Amino acid sequence: MLIGSLAQWLIMPTLAYILVVGFDLPTEVGIGLILLGAAPGGTASNVMTYLGKGDVALSVTITSVTTLAAPIVMPAWVVFLAGEQIQVTFAEMFQEIVLIVLIPVIAGVAVRQFLDRTAPTAAEVGLSVFPAISVLAIVTIVAAVVALNVENVLTASAFALAAVFFHNAVGLGAGYGVGHATKMPEDRARACAFEVGMQNSGLAVALAVAFFSPLAALVPALASVWHNVTGPALATYFTRRTPERSSATPMTRESD
């Protein structure tokens, strides 16, 4: 868990800054990429880990840890990497992330615990209803950002699009590489790949709109769409590599 969390906290913000400088991105676009890189893991990484036959428990744990630490880690990185270009303070971003992420997460856990004890049926229904509401909210936010930036999307420089592509691709590869370099089993290396490579782009979009401009939200909005292309693709690749190994396991147990 610590290895996966550290990999995400260190690799993605640093990579975002390198891409901003290397591609000489405009200030607002660059801030959007740094916000994306500093964001914690999102729930999409948990879903992709499940689809890709990875260690779901590890994935959920890393997402939880990085999300709980987001009010400190995220503004610290943004202020450190883009401090000269922004007028937002650490305290302001800390407060906003607490309101957007921490309080809802804590409230959700409390409600779930309460319903499990007092109304189990309602808790089961909630497992289907609330994720759907969450997905709808994220889609609405991303659609609004893209709508506000239609002209910018159509005229987005190749460098901005390339930055989104490389940020995601290198993150997925680096996460998987860190997993294997630290002797993790295959399923845990897969979890690290998704945790490092897929950020909470919805949070990055919300902060960009709150503190900067719709243009700053463009990169995380595009990343939100792109992650839903590369995530399933990598999960499918992992799944196709799994059957022979998983089918051999029961035979071995029978022979034993």
Q: Are 19 and 166 in contact (CB under 8 A)?
A: yes
Distances (CA, A) of 90 to 21, 40, 76, 83, 86: 23, 17, 7, 10, 11
**Range name among 78-87, 171-180, 226-235, 242-251 with the lowest pLDDT average:** 242-251
Residue 194, pLDDT > 90, answer: yes
Q: Please tell me the predicted confidence (pLDDT) of residue 217.
A: 83
Q: What is the DSSP string of the chain?
A: -HHHHHHHHHHHHHHHHHHHHHTT--HHHHHHHHHHHHS-B-HHHHHHHHHTT--HHHHHHHHHHHHHHHHHHHHHHHHHHHGGG----HHHHHHHHIIIIIHHHHHHHHHHHHHHHH-HHHHHHHHHHHHHHHHHHHHHHHHHHHHHTHHHHHT--HHHHHHHHHHHHHHHHHHHHHHHHTT--HHHHHHHHHHHH-B-HHHHHHHHHHHS-TTTTHHHHHHHHHHHHHHHHHHHHHHHHSHHHHHHHHHHHHH-
More confident residue, 38 or 108: 38
Contact partners, residue 29, CB within 8 Å, separation at least 6: 160, 215, 216, 218, 219
Residue 213, pLDDT > 90, answer: no
Q: What pTM was estimated for this model as a whole?
A: 0.79
**Range name among 140-144, 181-185, 249-253 with the lowest pLDDT average:** 249-253
Q: Please tell me the predicted confidence (pLDDT) of residue 250.
A: 43
Give strand pairing partners of 41. Answer: 199
| Of 246, 176, 38, the residue nearest 30 (C-alpha) | 38
Q: Please tell me the predicted confidence (pLDDT) of residue 176.
A: 95
Check if CATH label 1.20.1530.20 holds for domain 2-250.
yes
pLDDT range class, residue 91, cuts 50, 70, 90: confident
pLDDT in tens, 43-89: 888 888 988 899 999 998 999 899 888 889 888 998 898 876 677 77
